Amino acid sequence: MNKVAITEDFFKLSICLAGEILQKFINYNTKLSIIGDSTCCSNNPLKDFIYRSNHDKNIFFVSTEENELKSWQIPDKLD
């Protein structure tokens, strides 16, 4: 999912929107990649949240689609 398709409220952790939505993906054992630049985040709790998510097996914050494939360990081309 492209980051621009997500409301800015998702990234405000005090609202708990991200946690509620991402927990659904985890509960149903479904993977989700959020593609977009998250390095510009000045919010330390958000940085920690992204870091922890990227070390899990279901939720990934990645900068490009190529990095998404690497995070899921999916080959570029299917033979």
The model's confidence at residue 66, banded by pLDDT at 50, 70 and 90, is low
The model's confidence at residue 72, banded by pLDDT at 50, 70 and 90, is low
Q: What is the pTM of this model?
A: 0.70
Q: What is the DSSP string of 20-31?
A: HHHHHHHHTT--
**From CA 50, how far away is CA 79, in angstroms rounded?**
33
Q: First-to-last CA distance in the chain? A: 25
Residue 20, pLDDT score? 93
6-55 pLDDT, tens per residue? Answer: 888 888 888 999 989 999 999 999 988 888 887 766 678 888 888 888 88
In the chain, domain spans = 3-72
Residue 71, pLDDT score? 60
Residues 7-23 as b or e (16 or more Cβ within 10 Å = b): eeebbeeeeeebeeebe
